[in-house]
Amino acid sequence: MRPASHTRVFFALFFACCLLPGASCAGAAPRVSEEPLNNEQARLFEHGVDFIGRLGGLEGRWLDDWNRDLQQRVAESDLIAIVVVRRERTDKDPDNGVTHRLYGEVERTLRGNQPKDLTIELAVRQSEPGFVSVDDNLGRLQDARLVAYVRRYRTETGAIANHFHLSPASDEVVLETEARLAALASH
């Protein structure tokens, strides 16, 4: 094979990888959900956090619900990444509504396109269902290693924003997430 052929093969493989659904290529345009969330998706991507890192304590209906929710989050996410929350900012709007903004440094992308600067902003407004889980745990979230399940959307201005759910990036949660991703890829 001539050197030019190697280059063509490399670029063909590179572009094929970046165009596959779920492939992770930094800098590529992120997948964005154009439809508004339905009620079930709004429940799954509530802009909140859970602290279930060990599944051994879950059984019965609790475990069934956790498995169902994880399966649906994985299937519906545009981005799944292991992030470390490096900083947080709290804003107040003119009506005294609070918004917490978590800035996660992307350690590893499991699905989707990682942000160009390896940082993702996850904002939760006081009116959103997951607000209390974040508001009550701001100190606990600082430097926390989490799995971010993200469903991207366009705001009224056309900017890309994130609906999300966070879970601890324990070995168990990461392995369960990866297993569900593998099952989706095989279908």
Q: Across the strands, what pairs with 99?
A: 91, 125
Give the residue among 144, 146, 179 at the shortest CA–CA distance from 165. 146
What one-character DSSP code corresponds to residue 136? T
> Is the predicted pLDDT of residue 140 greater than 70, yes or no?
yes
What is the per-residue pLDDT for 151? 95
Q: Are 83 and 106 in contact (CB under 8 A)?
A: yes
The pTM is what?
Answer: 0.83
At CA 48, angle to CA 45 and CA 54, rounded to 5? 100
108 - beta bridge partners? 82
Whole-number pLDDT of residue 26 = 46
- pLDDT reported for residue 65: 95
- Is residue 53 within 8 A of residue 126, CB to CB? The reply is no
The one-letter amino acid code at 132 reads V
Supply the pLDDT for residue 10: 37
Reported as a single tens digit per residue, the pLDDT across 21-78 is: 334 444 556 778 777 888 999 999 999 999 999 988 889 999 999 999 999 999 999 9
Taking only the tens place, the pLDDT of each residue in 93-133 is 999 999 999 999 999 999 999 888 999 999 999 999 999 99
Architecture of 3-186 per CATH? Answer: Beta Barrel (2.40)
DSSP 26-53: TTSPPP---SPP-HHHHHHT-SEE----
The sign of the torsion formed by the CA atoms of 38, 26, 182, 148 equals negative
* Element (DSSP H or E) covering residue 158: none
pLDDT for res 29:
66
**What is the per-residue pLDDT for 15?**
36
Inter-residue contact 79 to 111 (CB < 8 Å): yes
**How would residue 186 be classed by pLDDT, with cut points 50, 70 and 90?**
very high
